[in-house]
Structure 1
């Protein structure tokens, strides 16, 4: 079984509309809507502009099967809610349900950097909320009569799983990993650490930058593995960091860069500190970044691991393992 996800397009809307109004789907949803194609087009346009939602079409062996979504996505608070349905009855399976749920947690915690994922399920949909529990969720609340539709009240089970719990459980779970990464989301917890600048004469460049309000942090470090000299400077007022990098020989990685600039100092890379170093490399490889210098300790940054990656549209970046 090959499961893939993609964003929903206008060509999918009639199919999605019919799924959503089918008895097998709507009986477990909060509403029994009467949808129109024109209304669906407005829904898609609104969702495409809404940064708090994500909608994917589920395909099983290239056959459209259903929809999975995030709602109330609050990146600043680290939370979201999720749900899904399989519209094609013949494609429903326990294996598919488990793989979708666990892969969604990978996406939420590894890529979006969230701290908690919530679910709300009708209590009568016992198989689904018990599956959530089996996948690692906790039942945090049961609200009697929370949803009313067509004069009938439904009890709702609220579930939750935290990033901390999922990372502990993940290695013990067996599931087919499904790629949710089609929204080009920034990697959660990724923050700029410094800007790297290639310079030909370290001492002269330090003096020049000191005259621009920068203060040297620590001492100059010789990185014998990469054959460069490194100095970190912090701006005395705003606090940003820069890294000055000068060559320690012709085989230094910055030598050719400086030659092409006729030894004029030039921006060389942006360094990003990341929470999950190995996972960030894996994600960026999937986005066509090329690993040019694999994970190695950086003596100038307390021996933390760094790696360099290159993309034709972004240039050279450095990943730094979080403390």
Structure 2
């Protein structure tokens, strides 16, 4: 698939039900901090709040014009150029969708927004996401012990970071 067939576009109100269905799917939900089912009303209220927050960037990842995932960038320190990200793919998305989502998001974060650093938190039991972040070039920066409680057990969370210069180096580009 060519780069032109993969893109991020702003999330719209018309995307709410689709994104909620992805979010509530058991394969997605089990890796979230909030693992219970989210209602449409809660989802709509979240979207209204997040859409008004200029630090939040809510995106739909598309391949060949078909929505395949959701991305949330949250600028936590504008002065330092640091943001957190979260994402999930549509259940059943085609192979390579994660890599496409990651590359599109990192290009947006570092080239368009001019961020210095992108951070992530991953539940230590989510081995697929841990490997995904490492393949994109993120480095493990922290182990937050017993950081997440799922209602029954405590779980470690792994903190990741990726600097713009590291990402550019991986892309064979001059640092931004």
- Give the TM-score taking structure 1 as reference length: 0.50
Of Structure 1 and Structure 2, the greater strand share is in 1
Aligned with 2:43 (options 40, 44, 48): 40
Larger Rg: 1
Q: Aligned residues, how many? A: 172
Give, in whole Å, the separation in 2 of the partners of 1:83 and 1:62: 21
Alignment of 1:151 onto 2:148 = no
**Cα deviations across residues 212-241 of structure 1 (Å, max 9, x unaligned)?**
xxxxxxxxxxxxxxxxxxxxxxxxxxxxxx
SS at structure 2 position matched to 1:33: coil
Deviations 1:185-206 (A, max 9, x none): xxxxxxxxxxxxxxxxxxxxxx
Greater RCO (Cα-Cα under 8 Å, separation 6 or more): 2
Q: 2:146, 2:157 within 8 Å by CA — same for their partners in 1? A: yes
Unmatched 5+ residue regions in structure 2?
none
Indicate conservation of the 8 Å contact 1:86/1:92, yes or no. Answer: no
**8 Å Cα contact 2:61-2:101 kept in structure 1:** no
2:8 maps to 5
Partner residue of 1:98? 99
CA contact (8 A) 1:75 1:112 kept: no
Where 2:88 maps in the other structure, the secondary structure is strand
The correspondence of residues 116-127 of structure 1 with structure 2, limited to 5 A, is 116-127=117-128
* 1:261-276 to 2 correspondences below 5 Å: none
In structure 1, C-alpha distance between the alignment counterparts of 2:169 and 2:11, rounded to whole Å: 33
2:53 counterpart of 1:50: yes
* 1:78 alignment counterpart: 81
Q: Where do 1:165-180 residues align within 5 Å?
A: 165-171=166-172
Match of residue 65 from structure 1? 68
Partner of 1:26: 29
Structure 1 residues 97 and 166: CA distance shift in structure 2, 3 A: same
Query: TM-score normalised to the size of structure 2?
Result: 0.87
**Residue 130 (1) aligns with residue 121 (2):** no
Q: Provide Cα deviations, 1:225-261, integer angstroms capped at 9, x if missing partner.
A: xxxxxxxxxxxxxxxxxxxxxxxxxxxxxxxxxxxxx
Distance 1:81 1:92, change over 3 A: farther
Deviation at 1:45, TM superposition (A): 1.3
Indicate how the Cα distance of structure 1 residues 166 and 159 shifts in structure 2: closer, same or farther if over 3 A, else same: same
RMSD: 2.0
Aligned-residue offset at 1:131: 2.3
Deviation at 1:72? 4.0
CA distance in structure 2 between the aligned counterparts of 1:147 and 1:121, rounded to whole angstroms? 10
Indicate if the aligned counterparts of 1:57 and 1:65 stay in contact, CA closer than 8 A.
yes
Inter-partner Cα distance in structure 2 for 1:92 and 1:28: 20
Larger helix proportion of the pair: 2
- Structure 1: gaps spanning 5 or more residues: 173-274, 277-323
SS at match of 1:45: helix
- Counterpart of 1:14 in structure 2 is 17
Q: Per the alignment, in what secondary structure is the counterpart of residue 48 of structure 1?
A: helix
